Structures are given as structure tokens and as C-alpha cells.
Structure 1
Amino acid sequence: MSRNPFKVPQDSALNHPEVRPVFERLLGARIQPEESEMKAVSPTNVRPEDSVAALAAEMCRGDAFPLYLDQRQRQKFGKTERECPDGTHDGLQARDWLCQACGVRTSSELDTNPQAAEIFLRIYNRFSRWQARQLGKI
């Protein structure tokens, strides 16, 4: 990892031993707890904005991920744009697809299932590359 450590509060879910490796790969930098007197991470003090499930929900609520799924379906199954036009998937269908792809029943399981979080990370990375190509950054 080439970037400087990413400092987060001690109570951040990113410090959780099952979540930290996933986000270190995602961020391309080590996650390092800030020096403080804060209490350790527990299910009762994890901030929602630090969770994998929150990132998944944000991704599915946006317009880009459902569009990515439309284009992915056309490419993977050889469908035409007429058979699967842009706008076929909505946020709810995107969430259902993501849960099925990660092998979980609800997106909240992404915070407690390291294998599902790893699968999500791969999907997130593919989606991010696709999005960068759409914006002309690649």
C-alpha cells in the first residue's frame, strides 16, 4: 500500500478486525486508529456511516449502480438495448441483486460477514472502474 495511513477514530467500524482488511484494500492505505481515550468498537457504538452496509445502500440508492447493472446484464447475457434498456433496474432491484451476489439475505449482513464484505468489495471495485470509464477518467 503506497498511501499514508488513513486515521480513523478508535470507535470507528473501520477498526473492526473483520472490516479493516476490506477497507484497507479499498482505500489503498493502512487504517490506523487515532490516539484517543475513546471506547472500543462494539455493535452498540458503530456509526452507521462507517459500515459496509451503509456504503452498499448508498451505492444502490444512486442512479449509476442500477445503470451499471443494466449494461452488465446486456454484456453478460448478450441482450440488446431494446431487450434490456437503461433504467431496467431500480434501487430496490439493485439492492436485491447485490444481496444475492454477496450471498446474504439483507445488506446489514455485510457488516458481520467477512466473506460477503469481500465479495462486495470486488463488486464495488468493478463498479468504480466502470463509473470512471463512463466519466472519461480511464
Structure 2
Amino acid sequence: MKTINKFFSVLLVSFSSSTANAGFVDDTIQDKAISIKEAMSMPNDSFVILEGYILSKLTNSSDKYLFTDKKSKENICLKIDEFDDGKKIMPDKPFDKNQKIRIRGEIDKSYLDIGKCNRFKIDVKEPIELL
């Protein structure tokens, strides 16, 4: 009986300590995708998650793309560096304009208008997910 009690005591302690070490969840950090329209109303430098499609690479640019969520009338520009803080941003698997993706990045409202981007772009900061 003492052996069983010791076993359950050890088991209880191990479960309670694993719960105590669980990561902090900050409910102020957005973790759901929003629309382009919603993103455009947010302050500069806000972190956003969007789901949609890259329509094309912008001419005369090695790292800027036209993006749509197919919900909003607006299209926006994405700036996608090959690497950001050592993380590879573009997926290894090739994809085209029919592939839905999820992006995570920061709003840049100081971006100069080049005709298609409406003075608004997202600097993609996390690896792109293919959906």
C-alpha cells in the first residue's frame, strides 16, 4: 500500500510541475487571420496574420509581391526577404497564384505608392505556410 501511495505521490508531483511549466499565453497577441480591410485599419507596425494568394511578383523588385485575400477589394504588397533573423521565409516547395497561403508580418504604412500597393505593405517576418 505504501508503494502505491508513493507511486501516486510521484505521479501527482510530476503532473503538477509539468502544468506549472506550460508556456504563457498572451491573449493580446493576435493568432487568427484577418482580412486585408481589417489590416489596413490597424496602426503602423502592428503584427498581423493574413490568408490569401500571391497574385504576382512586382516588376523591378526582387522581394515584393502583390497579395489578395479574395474578400477585400484592395490588394496589398508583401515584402518577402529570403531570410529574416536567420529564418527562411519562402517555402521550399514551389507554389503558384492558386495556392492559398498564411503570412505573418508587420504593417508598413510608410511604404511609397508604386501604383498597385496603395501606400501599404506587409513585411513578412515568419515562414510562409502553404494551406
Q: Taking structure 1 as the reference length, what is the TM-score of the superposition?
A: 0.18
Q: Taking structure 2 as the reference length, what is the TM-score of the superposition?
A: 0.19
More helix by share: 1
More strand by share: 2
